[in-house]
Amino acid sequence: MITAVSYGPDGSRQEHDPSDISEVVGQEGRLLWVDLADADDADFECIAGEFDLHPLAMEDARKHGQRPKLELYPTHAFVVAYSESLCEVDLFVGPDWLVTVRGRNDSGGAWEMAAARRRFDRTRANGPSVGLLLYTILDELVDGYFRAADSVEDELEELEERIFGEDMPEERAIQQDLFDVRRRLLLFRRAVVPLREVINALLRREVRWLDDTAVLLLQDVYDHVLRVIDTIDSQRELMGNAVDAHLAIISNRMNQVMKTMTSWGALLLGSTLIAGIYGMNFEHMPELHWRYGYAMAIGMMVLLTVAGYFAFRRRDWL
């Protein structure tokens, strides 16, 4: 589906049919924003022909799965970025037009453009420009990273409470949750870290259609990206500490089980030894025909067991 909206220097806003895009492109002082959601081959062919988009950039936009990057072509620039839910957003940036192609993530979700539209409608009062529109979209994407980082932090805190809680947690469930969070952090970092170089290239004015105002605003986006990267690195370190702590607790519990089993085995060893000696089938043995032999053997078994039990209890083995 193609949505085309143009903005005039007088603050006017007008929606257009996709077939009318060629009439709007190049109008002096007018900015055109074309958005593609769930695009099919016909939609891609339409925008490729209207804006003379490079075939290599079009191929990347069709297939998705690209890393965040900035590519420069004679008539436009191609930017790849990701939303907080890891939905790919491709942007074709021209002198007075911008095309966004929104893909879906592995779970079928797509990034909603409504917030960026409302924000651009509020901030374009001083005159719409492609640089301001590009900044608005990128800033909305980066703002979503903070929400994703906060969500991961809440999950890590919950996992820490489960790991160090007094109740015996289900080890398999905790391990699965830990590795799930670790995997999402890795994917999230792959989507965020390369964006730093993209914003840095924009600040170096590698895209010649950005004005001074847009470059100034993009500095704030660059700072936010750095903050998000620092947060992700901190969370990865906390994630590693949580995994190590979980493994250490499992090891300690296993050691406690082994100590308990060893203690009970040692308690039974003395009684088993006495019973084994006096259970041997020999005719001439000390105390074999003694009147109090049975009572003495039972007494020794009880004494060894009780003494060993209290000895192990003092060492906190039982």
pLDDT at 257: 80
pTM metric for this prediction: 0.79
Residues whose CB falls within 8 Å of the CB of residue 160, separated by 6 or more in sequence, listed in order: 242, 245
Is the pLDDT at 250 greater than 80? The verdict is: no
Confidence at residue 160, expressed as pLDDT on a 0 to 100 scale: 81
pLDDT at 68: 95
Contact by Cβ (8 Å): 142, 221: yes
Rounded average pLDDT over 38-51: 88
Query: What DSSP string describes 278-299?
Result: HTS--SS-TTTT-TTHHHHHHH
Q: Which residue in this structure is represented by tokens 């990347």?
A: 60
> Which has more pLDDT, 215 or 279?
215
- Asked whether the predicted pLDDT for residue 97 surpasses 90, the reply is yes
Q: Which of 189, 178, 186 shows the shortest CA–CA distance to 155?
A: 178
pLDDT tens readout for residues 134-171: 999 999 999 999 999 999 988 888 888 887 775 655 77
pLDDT above 80 (res 127): no
16-29: average pLDDT: 80
198-240: per-residue pLDDT in tens? 999 999 999 989 999 999 999 999 999 999 999 999 998 888 8
* β-strand pairing of 31-37 with 97-102: parallel
- Domains delineated in the chain: 2-250 (3.30.460.20), 251-314 (1.20.58.340)
Of 71, 98, 133, the residue nearest 79 (C-alpha): 71
Mean pLDDT of 107-113: 85
Quote the pLDDT of residue 53: 92
Would you mind telling me the total number of residues written for the chain in this entry? 318
Give the residue carrying structure tokens 């903005």. 7
294: Cβ contacts below 8 Å, ≥ 6 apart: none
Q: List the alpha helices (DSSP H) in the chain.
A: 21-24, 41-51, 55-63, 114-123, 130-164, 171-203, 212-278, 293-314
Mean pLDDT of the chain: 86
Q: Quote the pLDDT of residue 69.
A: 95
For 185-234, the DSSP string reads: HHHHHHHHHHHHHHHHHHHTT-STT--HHHHHHHHHHHHHHHHHHHHHHH
45 vs 163, more confident: 45
Between CA 111 and CA 101 the distance in angstroms is 10
- Beta-carbon count within 10 A of 317 CB: 16
The reported pLDDT for the residue numbered 32 is 92
Give the rounded percent of residues in the chain with a pLDDT score beyond 70. 98
DSSP character string of 90-105: EEEE-SSEEEEEE-B-
pLDDT of residue 194: 95
Cα 118-119-121 angle, rounded to 5 deg? 65
pLDDT tens for residues 53-76?
Answer: 999 999 999 888 889 999 999 999
Q: What is the pLDDT of residue 191?
A: 92
